A and B are shown apart, each in its own frame.
Chain A
């Protein structure tokens, strides 16, 4: 099936949410855009947010351990 026909078939799905079994299938253009981004790696905003999140996660894990210890 040609890519345009495939895209049309996927767009015709009546499901909207992933929780209604909607499957995210990228069109040719969307797929090319994603693959280019994967080749380049995360943008600066993402890198900053990932770092903040990892630091936060470590702190929360430590808080959780402390809390569970106190509860025992």
Chain B
């Protein structure tokens, strides 16, 4: 494999990362190290071992999904992991790195978290029209809700390892 995934750190060439999403660029350049250090979110980067470039980024944080109407089930909030910022550097686009590396890695992290903390879903926000939604649905994610701009998908983490 030419890539490894590791926590973001200041030894990496963070400034060189640039993807098509300006919000993700701003996040990695301004907030990612701080957020990771202060446990506001955990930020993982896909690093090209040969070039020491950051090829991709994801962030994971805690989330509570609200179900205000579900009193009869005695569940009004479902604890979840939010798969937040996702980005692939322009130089590495078209290699399916989000699908082949980052999403799977995020689920692997979740598989460890659920051994210690109650957490039932992994949630992801997908912009409407983004073809990655098909990938998520094909792999067992289900749509919980959508609004004018985004779909909110989740996968159930209850899996007997």
Interface string of B69-92 (1 = CB under 8 A from A): 110010100100010100000000
B13 to A: closest C-beta gap in Å: 15
A16, A48, A52 pick with most chain B CB within 10 angstroms: A16
Question: Per a CB cutoff under 8 Å, which of A6, A43, A45, A48 touches B69?
Answer: A6
With a 10 A CB-CB cut-off, give which of B68, B103, B111, B120 has the most chain A CB atoms. B68
Q: Chain B residues with Cβ under 8 A from A43's Cβ?
A: 140, 142, 156
Residues of B within 8 A of A63 (CB): 1, 4
Q: A18-B125, A53-B107 are in contact. Are A60 and B4 (CB under 8 A)?
A: yes
Residues in A whose Cβ lies below 8 Å from that of B98 = none
Given A42-B155, A42-B159, A60-B4, does the pair A25, B108 have CB atoms closer than 8 Å?
A: no
Taking a contact as CB atoms closer than 8 A, the residue among B1, B73, B159 that contacts A50 in the complex is B159
Q: Are A23 and B66 in contact (CB under 8 A)?
A: yes
Query: How many residues of chain B are within 8 Å of chain A by beta carbon?
Result: 49
Q: Is B144 an interface residue (CB 8 A)?
A: yes
Residues A57 and B107 in contact, CB atoms below 8 Å apart: yes
Chain A residues within an 8 Å CB radius of B107: 49-50, 53-54, 57
CA distance A41 to B121 in the complex (A): 11
**How far, in Å, is B137 (CB) from chain A's closest CB?**
9
- Cβ of B117: which chain A residues have Cβ within 8 Å of it? none
Binary contact track A6-25/B, C-beta < 8 Å → 1, others 0: 10000000001111001111
The minimal Cβ–Cβ distance linking B47 to chain A, given in whole angstroms, is: 8
| B145 pairs with A26, CB closer than 8 A | yes
Within 8 A of A (CB), among B14-35: 23
Q: Which residues of A contact B (CB under 8 A)?
A: 3, 6, 16-19, 22-28, 30-32, 34-35, 37-38, 41-54, 56-58, 60-61, 63-64, 67-68
| 8 A/B residue pairs, CB under 8 Å, sorted by A | A28-B69, A31-B70, A37-B142, A42-B140, A42-B157, A44-B140, A49-B140, A56-B105
* B residues whose Cβ falls under 8 Å from a Cβ of A: 1, 4-6, 23, 49, 63, 65-70, 73, 75, 78, 82, 84, 101, 103-109, 111, 120, 123, 125, 138-142, 144-145, 147-150, 152, 154-159, 161
